[in-house]
Structure 1
Amino acid sequence: MALLLVPAVEFLISARGFASYRYAPPDAERVPAVAPPAHAPDKPTVAVVVGNAGANVADALVPYDLLASTGRFNVYTVAPERRPVPLLGGLDLLPDLDFAQLSRRLGGKAPDVTVVPELPSDEDADRRVVAWLRDTASRGLVLGVCTGARLVAEAGLLDGREATSHWYRLSGLEDAHPAVRWRRGVRYVDAGKVITTGGLLSSVDGTLRVIERLAGEDTAAAAARTAGWTRYSPGAPAHMPESRISPSDAIVHVLNLGYRSRSSRVGVVLTDGVGELELASAFSPFAEVKAVRTVAIASTPTVRSRHGLTFVPRVRLADAGDGIDRLMVPGTAAATAADPAIAVAARRAGVPLEYPHRQPGFAFDPVLDSMARTLDRPTARWTRKILEYRDAGPAPAGPRWPWAPTLRLSLLALAGVAALFIVSLFVRLIRTGSLRRKAGGSPGTAREGVSPRPAEEHP
């Protein structure tokens, strides 16, 4: 018990801290004065839902980028209310429209496609999104990404249909929604009016399927090339092995969640024109495996992405430094024309500066390689598994094991044993001293070498 008590307390504190960080609300409720994007009536409209409590950064931004890159759709992020909401990992997004604004823009019609990412469980936000899905989005095509299938199922849109979701959450969904015919080991399931995908980067395949259906295979293939996605499988989902948690996965997960330094942070510098998929690659890997906290930094109050999304940073570049281990600047454009002010901020803070997207390719590849180098290879492998992204290339450089959290766990366990030893010794000393006092000073007891006085005689 002594061996486990201190590590268990530390694990619970760290786990609670990370849970509160993942979708921490924006610092301010101020709505930036940003006009909604223009609308082209001749194009199909796609609504990417983000709830009032936020959304998964990869589930929302990856489909958005793929669809917007085609130029064939109106693509909007929408929420019950138009105010900044947190994306997983500390990236605050101002939705393009609220539900009412979207309805007015479409003349009361449903969007042609609705993308439902994972949303953090929030009773009020869930209720409003589920009602909108059931009453409005159900009249168009619905794409449920990862555990966004939870809300699609709660809206009753999956009853009697085949569907899939993230392998890590499928058992819970099977118990909660037995009327759905859940499938494992597939990247997406096309059930006609509803398409559901596996976890996170399986959304690439599901989104390309949407593009196929609405704009044709050539457009989908072009979107895959633009994203650097080499696994495009026209007309059918690519093969995906069924995943399970191995013992090493569980150990790595526990070490990262409970025993990495809670003060370790990666500052992600936002720049105008950054790709949405590039942004997702900088936040999602670290947040999904709960290894390192990320924080959005910028030199301006708002940042506009490549296709017009508005992001609100939490830290100004001039204030970056305390608690930041390194600065990462996502985006090909940022790497091509580096801002000198970012280099100055890195030197002032005394931290490394990294531009992961200097080379063309899929945006997640260099970030995952960087994770292996700066953290360790098992953590990077576990991240790929969570992302449903396998790489057949050579193993990246990096430590072979998460030694730092392992050492921390060991020291905490030894601290528990040491504390037990000290307490036991203290208790033993107290007991020994008490016994000696009783032996030497109790009333009516004889001391060694001294005879008791005889009682006085009375006549």
Structure 2
Amino acid sequence: MSRLATLLLACLFFCHPLPLRADEAPERLPAYQKRFERERPLVAVIGENRMTELVDYVLPYGLLKRSSVAEVVALSTRPGPMQMMPALRLLAEADIVGFDRRHPEGADYIVVPAVHYSDDPQLLRWVRQQAAKGATVVGICDGALVLGEAGLLEGRRATGHWYSRGQREDDFPGTRWVSDRRYLADGKVITTAGVSAAIPVSIALVEAIAGTDRAQALATGIGLADWSPRHDGDAFALGAGGYLAAAGNLLSFWRHEELGLEVRQGEDELALALRADAWSRTFRSEVLALAADASPIRTASGLVLLPEPMAAHPGITHLQPTDAPLARLFDQTLGAIAERYDPATAALVAAQLEYAPALNE
């Protein structure tokens, strides 16, 4: 059993007490309040080098970068590549030491994705320091666990991915955990539901910084009709079918396969992240970014992707390009997973993404 499969399976096999539901909460995030003599707010997206959730990191970075409403910096805790989960490797623009040297006053916003090592001392120290300097801290998905470990959720309302409910309730009993919001602000701390919430909260951040018109323009450009926080987190569960699909796919090792996504300079990192993330959650496939050689690829928004050389994977199955709008890529990819494998596997992936496919509505 691969390490990735073990981690994914462990994430699924929990018992989860139901969280509290939120009281009436604002539909919008608090408006940005300028603190420094900056033309635009400074947003730092921080990843932990050993294992950081791909969509949680790439989507806020890419969407905020494309909106042009903020200066956005991709960071890692340490120098060197970041292993993303469940797929791909990235190289950040700077590590936190370099960022602090350049911006001793701190960021206006920091975005904290889900990471495998949520108790990493270096990450926790930096998050606490940024919060103490006045940054708004945004925990994407189970980035909430990092915020909890950092002591930022005590006495606050917050949310997170549905499958971590039990862990969150046990580890952070002083937090009021809610389930009916895709994203939720309590003071200068923002948390979100599972993986797919990275898209609406990113649009909401654009709205908080630059207004509804700018947010609407970005949402329209990616095919998103609604970025409100309304959500039914209690509707998500694996059930017997999900557990059977996960176990059956994992144990049928003779059916496992490598899938390749060809990448080039200027690659759309948003579409790449969504597709790689979804296909890598089937428990049957491992997704690799492929290029002519191992030279770094700079994506459309400036991230550095570290691909695998095609020659090293001669028998790999290549996934075909797609022109679907970003907001419909999960639907298209889930449909392709159902066709290649089976509907139960597609439902398993959707549950992990905390995403309700449009085709099931």
Tell me the TM-score normalized by structure 1. Answer: 0.68
CA contact (8 A) 2:118 2:146 kept: no
- Counterpart of 1:406 in structure 2 is none
Whether 1:378 aligns to 2:344 is yes
CA contact (8 A) 1:144 1:197 kept: yes
Measure the CA separation in 2 of the matches of 1:172 and 1:386.
16
Give how far 1:121 is off: 2.0
Give how far 1:53 is off: 1.0
SS in 1 for 2:314: coil
Bigger RCO (CA 8 Å, 6+ sep): 2
SS in 2 for 1:174: helix
Measure the CA separation in 2 of the matches of 1:276 and 1:178.
37
- Counterpart of 1:173 in structure 2 is 168
Distance 1:279 1:137, change over 3 A: farther
Percentage of pairs with the same residue: 30
- Counterpart of 1:18 in structure 2 is 5
Measure the CA separation in 2 of the matches of 1:47 and 1:249.
36
Measure the CA separation in 1 of the matches of 2:347 and 2:123.
34
SS in 2 for 1:381: helix
Measure the CA separation in 2 of the matches of 1:394 and 1:168.
21
Measure the CA separation in 2 of the matches of 1:248 and 1:63.
32
CA contact (8 A) 2:51 2:117 kept: no
Give how far 1:61 is off: 0.8
Of 318, 333, 353, 1:327 maps to: 318
Measure the CA separation in 2 of the matches of 1:16 and 1:319.
21
More strand by share: 2
- Counterpart of 1:71 in structure 2 is 68
CA contact (8 A) 1:196 1:206 kept: no
Give how far 1:41 is off: 4.8
- Counterpart of 1:431 in structure 2 is none
Paired residue type of 2:5: F
Could you say which structure has the larger radius of gyration? 1
Whether 1:310 aligns to 2:301 is no
Whether 1:216 aligns to 2:211 is yes
Measure the CA separation in 2 of the matches of 1:258 and 1:17.
14
Paired residue type of 2:352: I
Measure the CA separation in 2 of the matches of 1:318 and 1:147.
36
- Counterpart of 1:133 in structure 2 is 127
Q: 1:95-244 residue pairs with structure 2 within 5 A?
A: 95-106=92-103, 108-121=104-117, 126-138=120-132, 139-233=134-228, 237-242=229-234, 243-244=236-237
SS in 1 for 2:300: coil
5+ residue gaps, structure 2, are 10-36
Give how far 1:370 is off: 1.4
SS in 2 for 1:393: helix
Give how far 1:20 is off: 7.5
Give how far 1:185 is off: 3.2
- Counterpart of 1:404 in structure 2 is none
Which runs of structure 1 show a deviation greater than 4 angstroms over 4 or more consecutive aligned residues? Answer: none
Give how far 1:122 is off: 6.8
Measure the CA separation in 2 of the matches of 1:222 and 1:184.
29
Whether 1:369 aligns to 2:338 is no
CA contact (8 A) 1:143 1:206 kept: no
Distance 1:98 1:394, change over 3 A: closer
Paired residue type of 2:6: A
5+ residue gaps, structure 1, are 1-13, 23-39, 329-353, 396-459
Whether 1:282 aligns to 2:275 is yes
CA contact (8 A) 2:44 2:107 kept: yes
What RMSD in Å do the two structures reach over aligned CA positions? 2.2
Paired residue type of 2:323: R
- Counterpart of 1:296 in structure 2 is 289
- Counterpart of 2:243 in structure 1 is 250
Paired residue type of 1:278: A
SS in 2 for 1:82: coil
